[in-house]
Chain A
Amino acid sequence: GNSVTQMEGPVTLSEEAFLTINCTYTATGYPSLFWYVQYPGEGLQLLLKATKADDKGSNKGFEATYRKETTSFHLEKGSVQVSDSAVYFCALPGGTSYGKLTFGQGTILTVHP
C-alpha cells in the first residue's frame, strides 16, 4: 500500500531561520500529497497540497514541490516564526478508492525568539 516516511524530529530553530522537513513517499500511481499541521492543543489542519508531479503547494509562507523523480514532497519555509511551532505531518491517500490518509510520523518544530 501507499506509505510515507518523514524525517525524525524534533527540529528546533531560531526565529527567521530556514526550515526544511523531509518527506518521501511510496505510492501506486500519482496520488495527491498533503502537509497537515497540528498546533498545540488543536486538531489537524490542511497546510498545503499538490495534486500532480511538479506542482508546488504553498500556504502561509510554506512551500512543497511534488517531485516524482525523487518521490519526495519536502516542506520548506524561508523564515520561520515562533507561531510556526507545531507538529507537521506529511500524508497521502491510501490505495483504495475510499481515500483514507496515511500519515508520516510527524515532526515537532519548535521556534525560539
Chain B
Amino acid sequence: EPEVTQTPSHQVTQMGQEVILRCVPISNHLYFYWYRQILGQKVEFLVSFYNNEISEKSEIFDDQFSVERPDGSNFTLKIRSTKLEDSAMYFCASGGAGARERGYTFGSGTRLTVV
C-alpha cells in the first residue's frame, strides 16, 4: 500500500535554529497538508497546499513557517527560528481526488524537540 514518508523521525534543535521537515507524499496525490500535535493535545491543522501554492493556513502558521514542493515529489515544512513551543509531533498528509470522501494518508510523523 502506498505510504507517506517523513524524515527525520526525530529532530532535536536549539532554540532560534532553522529546521526543515521533509515529506514524500503519495505520488499521484494532489493535496498536501501539515499538521502538528503537541504532546498530549489534539491534532491541529497548519497548512494545506494545492497546485503549487498554499490553499489554506491556520493562525499557527505565521511568518516563521513556510512550505515548499521543490521537485514534484518532496514536500517540506521549514521553521525559520524555532521556539520552545514549536516542540511537537509534525505530521504530513496527502490526499488524492475524492479524498474528502475516501480519507487522507498520514506519515508517521517527525518529533521535533526544541531545547
- Residues 52-66 of chain A: 1 if any B CB is under 8 Å from the residue's CB, otherwise 0? 000000000000000
Q: In whole angstroms, how far apart are the Cα atoms of A31 and B100 in the complex? A: 8
- Residues 20-54 of chain A: 1 if any B CB is under 8 Å from the residue's CB, otherwise 0? 00000000000110101000001111100101000
Are A103 and B42 closer than 8 Å at their CB atoms?
yes
Q: In whole angstroms, how far apart are the Cα atoms of A46 and B109 in the complex? A: 15
Q: Which of A72-113 contact B (CB under 8 A)?
A: 89, 93-94, 96, 98-106
Q: Does B25 contact A (CB under 8 A)?
A: no
CB-CB nearest in chain A for B109: A43
Contact among B44, B100, B106 with A99 in the assembled complex (CB-CB below 8 Å): B100
Q: In whole angstroms, how far apart are the Cα atoms of A105 and B105 in the complex? A: 19
* Minimum C-beta distance from B96 to chain A (A): 11
Query: Given A98-B56, A99-B48, are A34 and B106 also a contact pair (CB < 8 Å)?
Result: no
Q: In whole angstroms, how far apart are the Cα atoms of A74 and B4 in the complex? A: 28
Chain A contact residue count (CB 8 A cutoff) = 24
Are B42 and A45 closer than 8 Å at their CB atoms?
no
Counting chain A CB atoms within 10 Å of each CB, the highest count among B99, B101, B107 belongs to B101
CB-CB nearest in chain B for A35: B103
Are A99 and B31 closer than 8 Å at their CB atoms?
yes
Are A103 and B91 closer than 8 Å at their CB atoms?
no
* Minimum C-beta distance from A42 to chain B (A): 6
* Minimum C-beta distance from A92 to chain B (A): 9
Q: Which residues of B contact A101 (CB under 8 A)?
A: 33, 35, 43, 45, 93, 104
Q: In whole angstroms, how far apart are the Cα atoms of A51 and B55 in the complex? A: 24
* Minimum C-beta distance from B46 to chain A (A): 9
What residues of chain B have their CB less than 8 Å away from a CB belonging to chain A? Answer: 6, 31, 33, 35, 42-45, 48, 50, 55-56, 91, 93, 95, 99-109
